[in-house]
Chains A and B, each alone.
Chain A
Amino acid sequence: ETGVTQSPTHLIKTRGQQVTLRCSSQSGHNTVSWYQQALGQGPQFIFQYYREEENGRGNFPPRFSGLQFPNYSSELNVNALELDDSALYLCASTVPGGTEAFFGQGTRLTVV
């Protein structure tokens, strides 16, 4: 049990729609990162939030955006969904001063 909870577990959306994925991490974990994992691939870094501000971003277009809230919850928003956005989306949190990232169970997004 990592204390990182993601919702929903599964989601089906139509191409062109928008989606919001949610993550709740443990109290005090002030750094949250989001990853995209396509089938058969390792997770790829999307972006990271620290104290409610984005402080790092991977090679993803601006239609991928996020928010972090004071209660340590976080959102990943994806606009104008494309078929290639179908993947497992993972949220990970890190304790202050720590290096280990603890992952949630993920949200499986299918775009049709």
Chain B
Amino acid sequence: EDQVTQSPEALRLQEGESSSLNCSYTVSGLRGLFWYRQDPGKGPEFLFTLYSAGEEKEKERLKATLTKKESFLHITAPKPEDSATYLCAVQAWEGGSEKLVFGKGTKLTVNP
């Protein structure tokens, strides 16, 4: 069964304190791994897609990396506005269509 596990569930950082979020996955044939940012009561906002082990993508203070079993979202010198829940998802094939299988997310709080 396709599964995504994110850790930690919650993370508190001081402004400027760099850290990493983890996403481990099991999927039969990875077609894509996605990172989203979600603010309270809002829909997920697309950040990155990674397709193969060794791939890296960056956007401002965020950098996503991918291995065969897990992905990391590195946050460098975070600011309070980076506070949000970060969701990881894998693209899986089921019942004739592609779907996203999400983890529960990591709630990040960045204190000023």
Contact = CB atoms under 8 A, between A and B. Distances in A.
Contacts of A44: 102
A106 B36 CA distance: 15
Nearest to A90: B43
Interface in A60-112: 88, 90, 92, 99-106, 108
Contacts of B44: 43, 90, 103
Contacts of A58: 94-95, 99
Interface in B1-17: 4
Give the size category of B's interface with A: 20 to 34
B54 interface: no
Interface string A21-58: 00000000000010100001111110010100001111
Contacts of B97: 48, 50, 55-56
B73 to A, nearest CB: 15
A40 B10 CA distance: 11
A40 B97 CA distance: 26
Contact of B98 (A4, A41, A56, A57): A56
B17 to A, nearest CB: 25
Scoring B44, B102, B105 by chain A CB atoms within 10 A of each residue's CB, the highest score goes to B44
Interface of A: 2, 4, 6, 33, 35, 40-45, 48, 50, 55-58, 88, 90, 92, 99-106, 108
The 8 closest A-B pairs by CB, nearest first: A56-B97, A42-B102, A103-B43, A45-B99, A48-B97, A56-B95, A106-B43, A55-B97
29 contacts: A2-B45, A2-B46, A33-B100, A40-B104, A41-B104, A42-B4, A42-B87, A42-B89, A42-B102, A48-B97, A48-B98, A48-B99, A50-B97, A55-B96, A56-B97, A57-B95, A58-B95, A90-B43, A99-B91, A100-B34, A100-B49, A103-B43, A103-B45, A103-B46, A104-B43, A105-B43, A106-B41, A106-B43, A108-B41
Interface of B: 4, 31-32, 34, 36, 41-46, 49, 87, 89, 91, 94-105
